[in-house]
Chains A and B, each alone.
Chain A
Amino acid sequence: DGGITQSPKYLFRKEGQNVTLSCEQNLNHDAMYWYRQDPGQGLRLIYYSQIVNDFQKGDIAEGYSVSREKKESFPLTVTSAQKNPTAFYLCASSASFSGFLLNTEAFFGQGTRLTVV
């Protein structure tokens, strides 16, 4: 079945450690996104990528890094520079590309809940 998979579902990190969250899609989508969601709050965009080997900072990129070496994969690293990393992280993808046909819906993974211990 086509879809978007995030792993792990739960992740615990010690202070000062870097951790990497996995996001894989088999939908052949060009665009991928990472969002952060805090309790009772909306989604804040961390990074997004429109095409392989290219990505842009979102609204809250500080303390995070990404790579897009393959079309189907968009891992997110939460670095030790991120002062408050405990949150629910959501990855999404959409068949989006430059030009007129931008208006396609996004598909989301089930999320990774990261907790700093």
Chain B
Amino acid sequence: GDSVTQMEGPVTLSEEAFLTINCTYTATGYPSLFWYVQYPGEGLQLLLKATKADDKGSNKGFEATYRKETTSFHLEKGSVQVSDSAVYFCALCPTGKLIFGQGTTLQVKP
């Protein structure tokens, strides 16, 4: 069945470090892919999305490219800030049912 696999966390980085959070998926067809972010005690917010192969989603310095050949949608940011500390979820919606990865906790230290 359809699924999403994320790298396990927590990921701990120093401020201004480069971030990569890996995400791979299994799905029939060509679903849109999403990254959501969850700050402590809150719901999820859409961070970025890509709707077709080779699309690059970007927002707030974060980027992810839809790679059909590797079935991946890795999240990257060139220079993280303390305020980026949160849980990040990769997701897809192949048939109307949202499917999320397990989430990756990011901690950024000053």
Contact = CB atoms under 8 A, between A and B. Distances in A.
Contacts, number: 67
A48 interface: yes
A42 B93 contact: no
B33 to A, nearest CB: 9
Interface SS majority for chain B: loop
Contact of B96 (A40, A98, A109): A98
Contacts of A90: 43-44
Interface string B31-56: 11010100001111110010100000
Given A105-B46, A110-B43, A111-B43, A92 B96 contact: no
Contact of B98 (A6, A98, A106, A111): A106
Given A45-B98, A102-B31, A106-B98, A94 B93 contact: yes
Contacts of B42: 110-111
Contacts of A12: none
B44 A105 contact: no
Interface stretch (B14-22, B73-81, B100-108): B100-108
A103 interface: yes
Nearest to A106: B98
A105 to B, nearest CB: 5
Interface residues of A, number: 29
A104 interface: yes
A17 to B, nearest CB: 24
A92 B98 contact: yes
A3 to B, nearest CB: 10
A36 B37 CA distance: 16
Given A103-B51, A110-B42, A110-B43, A42 B96 contact: no
Interface in A14-63: 31, 33, 35, 40-43, 45, 48, 50, 56, 58
6 contacts: A6-B43, A40-B105, A92-B98, A102-B31, A102-B96, A110-B43
Interface of A: 6, 31, 33, 35, 40-43, 45, 48, 50, 56, 58, 90, 92, 94, 96-98, 102-111
